[in-house]
Every structure is written in C-alpha cells, then in structure tokens.
Amino acid sequence: MTEMRFTVSHADDSAFRHDGLRPFFEYRDLGIREATGGMVGAHVIRARPGEESPGVRHTHALQFQMVYVLKGWVKFAYEGQGEVTLRAGSCVHQPPGIRHAEIAHSDDLEMLEITLPAEFETAMAE
C-alpha cells in the first residue's frame, strides 16, 4: 500500500497553469497526487475568459471521476444522458469510460475535479 502524506494547498492565482488536458482551461494542482503516490488526483479547473470549448467527445480510462462546480456554470453532453448543465454547487460523477464533451461554460467557471488514479489516458471518441 502506498504511504499517504499530509499536504495543504492554499488558494493562489499564480499556481494556475495552462498545461492541463484542455487548452481553454487553467489548472491548479492541489498536491493530492504527490501525497497519495499518484492514487488520487485533485485540481481546481477554471475557464480562460474568452476561450471556448470545441466540444470534442472523449473518454477517460480511470476508476473514478467527480466534478464539483465552485463558481459559474458548465454544460456537458453525456452519452445516454443528454446535455447536463452544472451550476455552482452541482456535482457530477462521470462513470469510467462514459463518452462526454464539455460544450459550453461561463467565463467565471471554477470546478474541483477528483480522479482515481491521478494519471489516466484520454481517448477521442468517434
């Protein structure tokens, strides 16, 4: 079993990076990946104002994915579920392998995403 370490991450705008999965979002790693030896990932995602999503359908090869909206709104399209709009306070569990696309969001969007494991493959869907 991987040894778990204590970690604390404080809000810091300078910690947001443009090197995440989607170029129209910025990501702030919360240090959970390192604290759990890669078993769990957690980061805050925020919209880059004026940048839009191309709405590309994709899947993730992971065990768990949860998104909690902190601020603003985001619209996803999920295979078998249709379009779902999440607002501040909304939470969604995306089952492993579900085809989905982020199709629209507000400029002030901020979300917390938790994944197991921290690193996972993403494949573009047909």
Residue 22 banded pLDDT, cuts 50, 70, 90: low
Tally of CA atoms within 13 A in the half-sphere of 93 that contains its CB: 5
Encoded tokens for 56: 């590309």
CA distance 91 to 67: 6
Q: What would the two tokens of residue 103 be? A: 């199709």
Architecture of domain 32-124: Sandwich (2.60)
Please state, in angstroms and rounded to a whole number, the distance separating the CA atoms of residues 32 and 40: 6
Dump pLDDT digits (tens) for 100-120. 999 999 999 999 999 999 999
pLDDT per residue as tens digits for the range 64-78: 999 999 999 999 999
Domain boundaries, the chain: 32-124
Beta-carbon contacts of residue 76 (< 8 Å; ≥ 6 apart): 83, 84, 86, 92, 100, 101, 102, 103
